[in-house]
Amino acid sequence: MEFSSFAQLIGMTQGINRALAARRMGDIENAKAIAENADTVMTAWCSLLPASKRRILRDDGSVDELLFKANILMHT
């Protein structure tokens, strides 16, 4: 089953939210673990995308805005 681009964006934001929810202020070791968890979430999200959603451009050449937002979120 292939999910919509909106569902893919929600999945990405929920994963990042869960990875960042464990943060505590001033704890460097915790910050490293959170960064590793966020990196794992993003890698998993990318690997689970269906082939049709791995490109930001649709078949007609237009930009899929929601996948574009998910990719921008991933790179910030």
Render pLDDT for 2-53 as a digit per residue (tens, 0 to 9): 899 999 999 999 999 988 887 666 677 778 888 888 899 999 999 999 888 8
Look up the pTM and report it: 0.77
Q: What is the DSSP string of 10-64?
A: HHHHHHHHHHHTT--TT-HHHHHHHHHHHHHHHHHHHHHS-GGGSSSB-TTS-B-
Q: In this structure, which long-range contacts are made by residues 50-56, counting pairs with CB atoms below 8 Å and at least 24 apart in sequence?
A: 50/2, 52/2, 53/2, 53/5, 53/8
Q: What pLDDT shows up at residue 33?
A: 84
